[in-house]
């Protein structure tokens, strides 16, 4: 009986490992969790979805917790990365920036504007030149970090995608969700601009829920990628 129990446990562990490291695990898991979360909120929000999506709401707090876990995970798996400055260091830097951005720190940086990270801030003559230089340099640093990672891995990501690489599929899922969430975020404003009227209130609330909830999952997807990469490296 003991041997049987151990055998079953080993089989279960092997099956879970196989599923977890499948290239389709991340996209399927995301769709299930995202769809379930939005369904629950939409049907049980008592016609007040915006209380969940507003700043300081439940969705934002879940995202904040996710970024804290992401930073902690990066610290735990740092030994997976031999180049601490050009790879792991950049990931940690971008995770910190994403966390601060999600926490809304950009709203408190400028004395004269709501945020220093939009084109209107640099075009507005009322904003101090010193702030424009400081935040312009910060944006350049962030852009260079992102471009460095993109250029370094773009060839590998493209070729490995068609080889059904697990980590590549997970990265593609996370990046696609990030892009789609931004498109959904801009849709109400673009609709008003092109049609001259505001989007239907119910549709607007639904789109806000879809956008905020998809962004909420980004740090958790990043954690999933780090864990998958760690386990794959451990098998080598």
Confidence of residue 14 (pLDDT cuts 50, 70, 90): low
Beta strands in 5-140 (DSSP E): none
Which SS3 state, helix, strand or coil, does residue 47 take? Answer: coil
Q: In angstroms, rounded to a whole number, what is the distance separating the alpha carbons of residues 165 and 167?
A: 6
Q: What dihedral do alpha carbons 171, 175, 178, 181 form, nearest 10°?
A: -110
Cβ atoms 211, 204 nearer than 8 A: no
Query: What one-character DSSP code corresponds to residue 180?
Result: H
| Percent of the chain whose pLDDT exceeds 90 | 57
Confidence of residue 106 (pLDDT cuts 50, 70, 90): confident
The pLDDT, as a whole number, for residue 7 is 62
Cβ atoms 223, 70 nearer than 8 A: yes
Of 31, 9, 25, the C-alpha closest to 168 is 25
The pLDDT, as a whole number, for residue 18 is 72
Q: In angstroms, rounded to a whole number, what is the distance separating the alpha carbons of residues 236 and 224?
A: 19
- Condensed to tens digits (0 to 9), the pLDDT of residues 124-164 reads 888 889 999 999 999 999 999 999 999 999 999 999 999 99
| Residues sharing a CB contact under 8 Å with residue 67, sequence separation 6 or more, in sequence order | 95, 98, 99, 102, 219
- Condensed to tens digits (0 to 9), the pLDDT of residues 17-58 reads 778 999 999 999 999 999 999 999 988 876 788 888 888 889
Of 192, 185, 191, 174, the C-alpha closest to 210 is 185
């Amino acid at each position: 009986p003991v041997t049987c129990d151990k055998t079953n446990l080993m089989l279960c562990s092997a099956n879970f490992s196989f599923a977890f490291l499948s290239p389709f695990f991340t996209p399927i898991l995301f769709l299930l969790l995202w769809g379930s979360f939005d369904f629950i909120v939409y049907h049980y929000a008592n016609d007040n979805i915006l209380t969940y999506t507003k700043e300081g709401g439940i969705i934002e707090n879940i995202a904040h917790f996710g970024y804290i876990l992401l930073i902690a995970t990066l610290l735990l798996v740092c030994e997976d990365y031999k180049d601490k400055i050009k790879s792991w260091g950049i990931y940690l830097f971008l995770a910190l920036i994403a966390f601060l951005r999600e926490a809304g720190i950009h709203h408190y940086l400028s004395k004269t504007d709501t945020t220093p990270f939009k084109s209107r801030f640099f075009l507005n003559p009322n904003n101090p030149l010193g702030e424009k230089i400081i935040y312009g340099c910060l944006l350049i640093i962030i852009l260079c970090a992102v471009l460095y990672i993109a250029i370094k891995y773009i060839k590998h990501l493209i070729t490995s995608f068609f080889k059904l690489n697990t980590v590549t599929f997970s990265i593609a899922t996370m990046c696609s969700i990030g892009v789609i969430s931004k498109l959904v975020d801009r849709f109400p404003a673009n609709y008003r601009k092109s049609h001259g009227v505001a989007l239907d209130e119910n549709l607007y609330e639904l789109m806000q829920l879809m956008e905020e909830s998809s962004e909420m999952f980004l740090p958790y997807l990043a954690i999933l990628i780090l864990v998958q990469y760690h386990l794959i490296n451990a098998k080598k």
